[in-house]
Amino acid sequence: MNQQQFENFTASSLYCEKCRVAMPVRERLLLVLPDREIFDYLCTGCGSSVGRREVTAGEKMLAQAMTARTRRAPVSIPLR
Ligand SMILES: [Zn+2]
């Protein structure tokens, strides 16, 4: 198995019907819609699709906001 395939993992493993065992999966951007993005999970063993995930625009913005919050220093806003 190629180690480079593991670089972009977000989900750890899903059950693959073809391999009949829980396999490490690779996330692939399948479709971009105006309000959401659909990701496909591919089995690293046989390459078949084992699951899907939808990320809505709201979830994406929330994730970006949380990332920005952890990276930036807190900004103090004067009350007067
Ligand atoms: Zn498989």
Digit-by-digit pLDDT tens for the chain (80 residues) are: 444 454 444 557 899 999 999 999 999 999 999 999 999 999 999 999 999 999 898 888 888 888 877 666 666 777 77
According to the 3-state scheme, what is the secondary structure of 12-47?
Answer: CEEEECCCCEEEEEEEEEEEECCCEEEEEEEECCCC
Structure tokens at 77: 């806003």
Is residue 33 situated within a structural domain?
yes
Å from CA of 7 to ligand 1 middle: 18
Å from CA of 8 to ligand 1 middle: 18
Å from CA of 56 to ligand 1 middle: 27
Residues less than 5 Å from ion ligand 1, measured at CB? 16, 18-19, 23, 43, 45-46
Å from CA of 18 to ligand 1 middle: 5
Is residue 76 situated within a structural domain?
no
Is residue 21 situated within a structural domain?
yes
What's the structural domain count of the chain?
1
Measuring CA to CA, which residue among 35, 34, 4 is closest to residue 24? Answer: 4
pTM for the predicted model, two decimal places: 0.59
Domain that includes residue 61, residue range = 7-71
76 φ, ψ (degrees, to nearest 5): -90, 125
